[in-house]
Chains A and B, each alone.
Chain A
């Protein structure tokens, strides 16, 4: 069966520090991968998505970046965190290449507080 792992689960970082959040999917190949951010009391904001190892689409400029060093690994990074980067970061995967059936399954999330 397929599983998705995200880490770390919780972190507290100072403003201006770097960030690296990791997401790994097991039990599937060539998944569609997604990063979302959810600020407190708000909806999910799409940050990045990738339909293949060399294909990453960015929805949000600013100070975040994403990489997919391996087929089933998706990393979210920042060189310098802002206070506004605080939130609940969610990684998700989908196993289909049919956009009409693109069901996302989420990891448990990483809760980031920037102080």
Chain B
């Protein structure tokens, strides 16, 4: 089993759609959780941290289920500019930080 697994997609959605990405992780002792965004041929950039209580940042909502070792990202009212690869990230005790392979999103007019 991979340490962090994501559906690679691609997800092709129209503008204004709601889209959800899922991620599972294998290490139950994982300490911190994030979603990053990566544009083509660029470095990844932090989108948001993920907390057990769930958290929201504008159109983006992240959820963490520690019991199921599952992380999600919901994007509402998709924009063309949301087209990118979304990376699920998990840090273990000891600061080992693992990235999922990413989920590609294409938002079309």
Contact = CB atoms under 8 A, between A and B. Distances in A.
Contacts, number: 62
Interface in A76-115: 88, 90, 94, 99-109
A106 B101 CA distance: 17
A99 B99 contact: no
B96 A46 contact: yes
Given A43-B101, A100-B31, A103-B49, A94 B44 contact: no
B95 A102 contact: yes
A44 interface: yes
Interface in B22-75: 31-32, 34, 41-46, 49
Interface in B63-101: 87, 89, 91-101
Interface of A: 32, 34, 36, 42-44, 46, 49, 51, 57, 59, 88, 90, 94, 99-109
Given A88-B41, A99-B94, A99-B95, 10 more contacts: A34-B97, A36-B99, A44-B87, A51-B94, A94-B95, A99-B32, A101-B49, A103-B34, A103-B46, A104-B97
Interface of B: 31-32, 34, 41-46, 49, 87, 89, 91-102
15 contacts: A34-B97, A44-B99, A46-B96, A46-B97, A88-B41, A90-B43, A99-B32, A99-B94, A101-B49, A102-B31, A102-B91, A102-B97, A104-B89, A106-B44, A108-B43
